[in-house]
Copies of this chain bind each other. A is one copy, B any other.
Amino acid sequence: MAILEKINSPQDVKSLNIDEMNDLSQDIRDAILKRVNTIGGHLGPDLGIVEATIALHYVFNSPEDKFVFDVSHQVYPHKMITGRKEGFTDPEEYSNISGYFNPEESEHDPFVIGHTSTSISLATGLAKARDLKGEKYNIVALIGDGSLSGGEAFEGFNNASVLDSNFIAIINDNEMSIAENQGGLYKNLEELRKTNGKCENNFFKTFGFEYYYVEEGNNIEALIEAFKKVKDTNHPTVIHIHTLKGKGFQPAVDNKEIYHWQLPGFLDPEKNNNSVETYDSITTDYILKKREKDNTVIAISPATPGAYGFTKEFRNKLGKNYTDVGIAEEHAVAYASGLAKNGAKPILAVLSSFIQRTYDQLSQDLALNNSPATLLIYWGAISPADSTHLCVFDIPLISNIPNIVYLAPTTKEEYLKMLDWSVEQNKYPVAIRVPAGELISTGIEDTTDYSILNKFEVSEQGEKVAILGLGNFFHLAKEVKQELKAKLNINSTLINPKFITGIDKELLENLKKNHNLVITLEDGVINGGFGEKISRFYGNSTMKVLNFGAKKEFTDRIPIEQLYERYHLTKDLIVKDIEKNL
């Protein structure tokens, strides 16, 4: 860490010679490996962008010149150079520096960024404001590692290309998305690489960008030369740099997908060969078995197969019955709708945070057309995630769209039954909120007929208080029931709603007979969610209702216990609130 120790701002990079910069690269790589091994994070993309980041800070003058790093998959070296190296060298400081672009940490980060494909448009806004104010400096967007295929990036390129002022887009072409790159655009990048940027077809030139290619995207000298060429230009430019994802750590070079992101402890050779059943594993097992019987079953992932156990082996087994659409969630939903309309059985897997990219496709392409596709929404839960990757908004997002049936299973058996019902039916678009956390199995087959919509299940009949525990929080509801019995001697009613998109009016009406308080628990933001529908239903009655769930806010790496405390999502706090309202 001899060199890195001396780097406290980009200014310190400018005084280094090439050898020193290469040494700095090594220091940065060592720090990345240690940090990721300790707290997890993005590995391959950060290892690949080290030299380019050093060269950027050598040539440009941040923060006067403004950098926008797409999706923040490749922001660690930038953070180390811009006064935050302790977040990578001092284990005590690791968790004080986020893994994403963050203006609260540094003036060198103009935006909070964590979703993909946004950099070009955000940077176009910065550039236009600069021009309106009559200022002069460089606006540099860095995009790559799969983010190019998102529609927002394209909309950005279309508009950035007609700016009549300085705008520099650096395309970090590491030959990968999160998994393999997908689509015609990436074939064009391949052709550009093979021809040293000289082939006839050039995606970027079609928009009118001036274009430069740098084959040696991990060579600091070559990068400095290229960046100098475009610095202070008065028109939109693209620099396409060819980098090596995972560079400096051979396993990450050999297996780019696995090492895109890593959990703590990956440097430990002892393999975590877990054969425990999970919601991921029962999903892939289900799909493979279903596919054997039905050649129209097709699994779809928007570039994040690893997030839900769609392993290479699984994908290979499915063959033509698997599509990775790349980072292109909007396409994924419309594509699934088209598949379903033409008689296939699409199963689209997507994280709660990324389904946010598809509201209009869910509404117009899918729901309005009543296309019977199946959507599996993963990771929907309150969590200690970064503010960019919260998974608490999917219930308000999806459940207020007409026609979609959104289901919240609480066990393996319910989940599999719902999944199979969804795949086999052809009347509704169905989304299933795959339970978060460890698999829970009752061992008893679920025989519910899910074609009877909006039928809640009374799990245990009681009186006075009814607890509606949606999805993940059904198990919290059980605890609350026990606590109510123990503490207040109330034999409450426990209800598993199962359906997020509609309410069981008959059941709710019946509760009025011998209950005077209904509580709802949902593992997501309350606003616009499930509980408020229950409050509305009882609005004209004397039934009291308390809704529990997350507050409408962007939380950022808050420990989950703290969030549960804040939102009164522990059995003790809930029972206290119940006591107050009896």
Contact = CB atoms under 8 A, between A and B. Distances in A.
Interface in A21-50: none
A7 interface: no
B183 A553 contact: no
A533 interface: yes
A396 interface: yes
A546 B359 CA distance: 28
Contact of A368 (B341, B387, B528): B387
Given A121-B365, A184-B207, A207-B183, A149 B156 contact: no
A191 to B, nearest CB: 9
Contacts of A111: 337-338, 341, 365, 369
Interface in A253-312: 295-296, 298
B206 A182 contact: no
Interface in A375-406: 387-388, 393, 396-397, 399-403
Contact of A552 (B185, B342, B356, B400): B400
Contacts of A161: 183-184, 187
B528 A400 contact: yes
A155 B359 contact: no
Given A112-B368, A127-B338, A133-B343, 17 more contacts: A110-B341, A111-B341, A113-B364, A115-B360, A121-B338, A128-B339, A129-B338, A133-B342, A155-B330, A159-B325, A159-B326, A363-B393, A400-B552, A403-B554, A532-B533, A535-B536, A540-B581
Contact of A184 (B112, B182, B209, B547): B209
Nearest to A192: B206
B539 A535 contact: yes
A356 B365 contact: no
A160 B356 CA distance: 23
A572 to B, nearest CB: 18
A347 B154 CA distance: 22
Given A125-B335, A320-B131, A183 B159 contact: yes
Interface of A is mostly: helix
Interface stretch (A73-81, A195-203, A431-439, A475-483): A195-203
A363 B368 contact: no
17 contacts: A110-B341, A121-B330, A125-B338, A126-B342, A128-B338, A152-B361, A156-B331, A158-B183, A158-B328, A184-B207, A185-B207, A203-B207, A357-B360, A368-B388, A396-B396, A527-B528, A541-B544
Contacts of A122: 334-335, 337-338, 341, 365
A110 to B, nearest CB: 6
Interface residues of A, number: 119
B368 A156 contact: no
Interface string A452-475: 000000000000000000000000
A159 B300 CA distance: 12
B344 A152 contact: no
B525 A400 contact: yes
Nearest to A207: B184
A112 B184 CA distance: 28
A132 interface: yes
Contacts of A152: 151, 330-331, 334, 361
A182 B154 contact: no
Contacts of A201: 202, 205-206
Nearest to A331: B155
State the 9 A-B residue pairs at the shortest beta-carbon distance, nearest first: A125-B338, A151-B151, A184-B207, A161-B184, A121-B334, A129-B342, A528-B528, A158-B183, A155-B331
A188 interface: yes
Contacts of A208: 184, 187-188
A542 interface: yes
Interface of A: 66, 103, 110-115, 118, 121-133, 149-162, 182-185, 187-188, 200-203, 205-209, 295-296, 298, 320-321, 323, 325-326, 328, 330-331, 334-344, 346, 356-361, 363-365, 367-369, 387-388, 393, 396-397, 399-403, 525-529, 531-533, 535-536, 538-542, 544-547, 552-554, 581
Given A131-B320, A207-B183, A533-B532, A364 B539 contact: no
Contacts of A188: 206-208
A164 B105 CA distance: 48
A542 B542 contact: yes
B536 A532 contact: yes
Contacts of A526: 536
A206 B207 CA distance: 11
Given A125-B338, A535-B539, A162 B133 contact: no
A533 B553 CA distance: 15
